[in-house]
């Protein structure tokens, strides 16, 4: 494996269990067609005492391919903690984050990667133009994105929480990400706005999941809203870069 990694992919695998196996197979085949210098970080953090077998499964996958690493720690937070643990473990020039549940199309990584390389910009992400996950989630997402746009104007981000997101190593190193919960995607976009990043978005279809219910509970809505207002207040006290 090359010492200089071009592309690092962080896959959030929480409670994916066997479903992560075909996902990683498809992801590996896609990335091999994009670059011969890559690493895949499988984040299989778990809640102690539960019957989640993801930890053992991602460890087994990683043992069969030296381009794949597994992170399996007792959870000290929710999605934000998992994402940060994965991103901190990367070494690549570009860092891509995607959920491992299959709702976001794997193929979209190809466009993200080619766009950030060819246009030499700071971040490329998707927005969910077509959603198959029900009216309730669509409504909540629409309100949330409208509120975000009102509080943080100028970013021109249509869908804060959408993935995959790919950003340069330099941008990641200059971010000060701290969220350990569901707010991590919004925090990343707020940080991108603070750093005046050049961002591109393109549309995807967001698929529904029949195998399980969503991990995002109603309480997460209050977390989103409270954090948005808290971060907006912080901007009055943070010195913006010139």
Is 40 part of any domain? yes
Handedness of CA 7, 11, 17, 22 (dihedral sign): negative
Alpha helices in the chain (DSSP H): 20-34, 54-63, 79-88, 108-118, 135-151, 169-174, 184-194, 218-234
Query: To the nearest whole number, what is the mean pLDDT of the chain?
Result: 92
Whether 161 and 148 have beta carbons less than 8 Å apart is answered as no
- Mean pLDDT over 1-9 rounds to 81
pLDDT at 214 over 50: yes
Residue 97 exposed, middle or buried by CB count within 10 Å (0-12, 13-18, 19+) = buried
1 band by pLDDT with thresholds 50, 70 and 90: very low
Domain range for 194:
7-234
Q: Does residue 212 fall inside a structural domain? A: yes
pLDDT band at 2 (very low <50, low <70, confident <90, very high): very low
User: Is it the case that residue 232 has pLDDT exceeding 70?
Assistant: yes
List pLDDT tens digits, range 190-209.
999 999 999 999 999 999 87
Band (8; pLDDT cuts 50, 70, 90) = very high
Residue 140: pLDDT above 90?
no
Q: Report residue 139's pLDDT band, with 50, 70 and 90 as the boundaries.
A: confident
Question: SS3 of 222, please?
Answer: helix
pLDDT at 48: 95
Decide if 241 is inside a domain: no
pLDDT value, residue 213 = 55
Q: Decide if 193 is inside a domain.
A: yes
Is a pLDDT exceeding 90 seen at residue 95?
yes
Rounded mean pLDDT of 51-56? 96
Interatomic CA distance for residues 78 and 80, integer angstroms: 6
Per-residue pLDDT of 160-174, as tens digits, reads: 999 999 999 999 999
Q: What is the pLDDT of residue 219?
A: 65
Would you say residue 239 lies in a domain? Answer: no
pLDDT tens column, 10-27: 999 999 999 999 999 999
The predicted-structure confidence for 24-39, as pLDDT tens digits, reads as follows 999 999 999 999 999 9
- The reply to whether 195 falls in a domain is yes
Whether 114 is covered by a domain: the verdict is yes
Query: For residue 51, what is the domain's CATH number?
Result: 3.90.550.10
How many domains does the chain divide into?
Answer: 1
How far is the C-alpha of 41 from the C-alpha of 57, rounded, in Å? 13
Any domain includes 242: no
Rounded Cα–Cα distance for residues 17 and 167 (Å): 28
Closest of 160, 169, 171 to residue 125, by C-alpha: 160
């Amino acid at each position: 494996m090359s010492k200089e990694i071009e592309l690092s992919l962080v896959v959030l695998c929480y409670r994916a269990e066997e479903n992560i196996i075909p996902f990683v197979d498809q992801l590996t085949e896609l990335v091999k067609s994009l670059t011969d210098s890559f690493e895949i970080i499988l984040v299989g953090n778990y809640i102690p005492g539960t019957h989640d077998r993801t930890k053992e499964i991602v460890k087994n996958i990683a043992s069969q391919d030296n381009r794949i690493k597994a992170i399996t720690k007792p959870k000290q937070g929710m999605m934000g903690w998992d994402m940060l643990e994965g991103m901190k473990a990367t070494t690549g020039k570009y860092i891509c984050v995607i959920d491992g549940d299959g709702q976001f199309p794997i193929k979209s990584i190809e466009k993200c990667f080619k766009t950030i390389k060819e246009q030499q910009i700071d971040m490329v992400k998707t927005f969910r133009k077509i959603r198959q996950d029900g009216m309730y989630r669509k409504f909540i997402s629409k309100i949330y994105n409208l509120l975000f746009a009102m509080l943080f104007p100028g970013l021109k981000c249509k869908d804060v929480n959408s993935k995959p997101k790919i950003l340069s190593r330099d941008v990641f190193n200059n971010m000060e990400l701290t969220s350990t919960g569901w707010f991590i995607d919004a925090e990343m976009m707020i940080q991108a706005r603070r750093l005046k990043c050049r961002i591109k978005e393109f549309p995807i279809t967001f698929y529904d999941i029949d195998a399980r219910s969503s991990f995002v509970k109603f309480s997460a809505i209050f977390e989103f809203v409270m954090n948005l207002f808290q971060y907006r207040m912080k901007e009055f006290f943070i010195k913006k870069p010139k």
